[in-house]
């Protein structure tokens, strides 16, 4: 853990990369960013994999490893912890989205249609396998390993990583819509504070990794459903 003290500067990286991807993607395809927003999950999976590789390279240069970065120790986690934290992530995550939807859009429950918009079926199937696992390892490696573990001040070690952890979601997908950006940030900030606080206290990444993956499985499955079931996406949109 102490070998990787120079990695906290990576915390804003996803907040920069995702806007670049969507701006460049819109330019290349000559479409509005709204029209390519349904590709957010594919962009996320690619960025996740690249970030995991980057963390692996950076930690190796520090004579360390990804596992040391996140303070993973085999056998330290009880099943009860995993179950409780997974349930907490689901509850706080859903509650945050409902409350943010009420504040920003006056709708409960509110769900942005593009988050479950259909994509090519093959990619939707692959995404169910890749998105949840890659997101957990990429985001938790970055915000917990490079953030919470590397910042000395207790409150800064919780709130700075939690801030960037939540802010990145404002740009996945990137839309130049202030209300959407604020909605996405408010949806995740309560959860990211709790996750960073819990990790700062326990230094055990496994419950967070599992719970994080579970909530993304639910999202990936919804995308798969809208991509394979005719009319399902329109039905979901009509429920808003």
Of 84, 69, 92, give the one whose Cα is nearest residue 193.
92
- The predicted-structure confidence for 97-136, as pLDDT tens digits, reads as follows 999 999 999 988 788 888 999 999 999 999 999 999 999 9
Q: Assess whether pLDDT exceeds 70 at residue 177.
A: yes
Q: Mean pLDDT over residues 56-82, rounded?
A: 91
Total domain count, the chain: 1
Mean pLDDT of the chain: 93
pTM: 0.93
CA atoms of 19 and 70, how far apart (whole Å)? 27
Supply the pLDDT for residue 24: 96
What tokens does 227 get? 């991509």
Higher per-residue pLDDT: 78 or 134: 134
Q: Assess whether pLDDT exceeds 70 at residue 25.
A: yes
Supply the pLDDT for residue 3: 63
Q: Mean pLDDT over residues 49-53, rounded?
A: 98
Integer angstrom CA distances of residue 36 from 71, 114, 143, 229: 37, 9, 27, 20
Angle, in degrees to the nearest 10, between helices 206-228 and 178-202: 150
What tokens does 167 get? 């802010």
Integer angstrom CA distances of residue 90 from 100, 169, 228: 15, 16, 25
Q: Assess whether pLDDT exceeds 70 at residue 207.
A: yes
Q: How would you class 9 by CB atoms within 10 Å of its CB: exposed for 0-12, middle for 13-18, buried for 19 or more?
A: exposed
Q: Assess whether pLDDT exceeds 90 at residue 240.
A: no
Integer angstrom CA distances of residue 82 from 70, 88, 122, 208: 16, 10, 31, 8
Render 135-181 in DSSP notation, one character per residue. HHHHHHIIIIIIIITT--SHHHHHHHHHHHHHHGGGGSS--S-HHHH
CA atoms of 193 and 197, how far apart (whole Å)? 6
CA atoms of 30 and 199, how far apart (whole Å)? 43
239: confidence class by pLDDT, cuts 50, 70, 90: low
Q: Assess whether pLDDT exceeds 80 at residue 16.
A: yes
Q: Assess whether pLDDT exceeds 80 at residue 235.
A: no
Supply the pLDDT for residue 176: 92
Q: Assess whether pLDDT exceeds 80 at residue 63.
A: yes
Of 198, 216, 215, give the one whose Cα is nearest residue 71.
198
Q: Assess whether pLDDT exceeds 70 at residue 142.
A: yes
Lowest mean pLDDT among 49-58, 133-142, 231-240: 231-240
Q: Assess whether pLDDT exceeds 90 at residue 198.
A: yes
User: Residue 188's domain spans which residues?
Assistant: 2-238
Q: Mean pLDDT over residues 4-18, rounded?
A: 90
Supply the pLDDT for residue 143: 98
């Amino acid at each position: 853990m102490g070998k990787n003290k120079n990695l906290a500067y990576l915390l804003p990286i996803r907040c920069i990369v995702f806007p670049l991807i969507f701006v460049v993607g819109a330019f290349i395809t000559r479409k509005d960013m709204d029209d390519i927003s349904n590709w957010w999950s594919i962009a996320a999976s690619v960025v996740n994999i690249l970030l995991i590789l980057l963390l692996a390279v950076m930690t190796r240069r520090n004579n360390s490893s990804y596992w040391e970065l996140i303070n993973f120790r085999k056998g330290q986690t009880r099943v009860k912890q995993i179950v409780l934290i997974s349930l907490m992530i689901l509850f706080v995550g859903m509650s945050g989205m409902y409350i943010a939807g009420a504040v920003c859009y006056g709708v409960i429950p509110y769900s942005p249609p593009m988050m479950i918009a259909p994509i090519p079926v093959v990619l939707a199937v692959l995404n169910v396998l890749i998105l949840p696992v890659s997101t957990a390892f990429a985001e938790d490696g970055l915000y917990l390993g490079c953030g919470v573990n590397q910042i000395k001040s207790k409150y800064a070690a919780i709130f700075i990583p939690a801030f960037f952890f939540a802010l990145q979601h404002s740009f996945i997908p990137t839309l130049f819509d202030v209300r959407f950006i604020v909605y996405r940030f408010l949806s995740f900030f309560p959860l990211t504070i709790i996750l960073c606080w819990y990790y700062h206290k326990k230094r055990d990444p496994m419950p967070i990794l599992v719970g994080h993956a579970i909530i993304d499985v639910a999202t990936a499955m919804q995308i798969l459903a809208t991509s394979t079931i005719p009319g399902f996406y329109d039905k979901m949109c009509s429920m808003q």
